[in-house]
Amino acid sequence: MIKRIEQVVSILMEDRPFFKEELNYSEIVKHLVELFEKNLPFEEFNTMSEAELKEHCSFIMSTEILSKIGGDFTPEQMAIFDEAIKRK
């Protein structure tokens, strides 16, 4: 499982440099392994196509990046961000 996830994360980080800039390779691999172990039977993981695994990993990695938005904002920046979100 770990090797397969490592390979997919490597590919995604090469294909999408933003992943490489924003995520720590070791940490995201560990996180993905934990998520798959907790939420997916091993047999199902093993039968998942490479494309499907890549899609799942990409979604989770994108979500991790999005969850960091605002973490470094000042209170003023957060107020502007909140107001912009409310208008949408």
The span from the CA of 39 to the CA of 16, in Å, is 26
pTM for the predicted model, two decimal places: 0.80
CA 45 to chain centroid: 17
Would you place residue 87 in the very low, low, confident or very high pLDDT band (cuts 50, 70, 90)?
confident
For residues 65 and 56, give the distance between their C-alpha atoms in angstroms, rounded to a whole number. 14
Picking from 67, 69, 9, the residue whose alpha carbon sits closest to that of residue 36 is: 9
Residue 14 has pLDDT above 80, yes or no: yes
At 36 the pLDDT is 98
Task: Compute the average pLDDT of residues 3-31.
Answer: 97
pLDDT of residue 85: 82
Q: What angle do CA 6, 70, 32 make, to 5 degrees?
A: 15
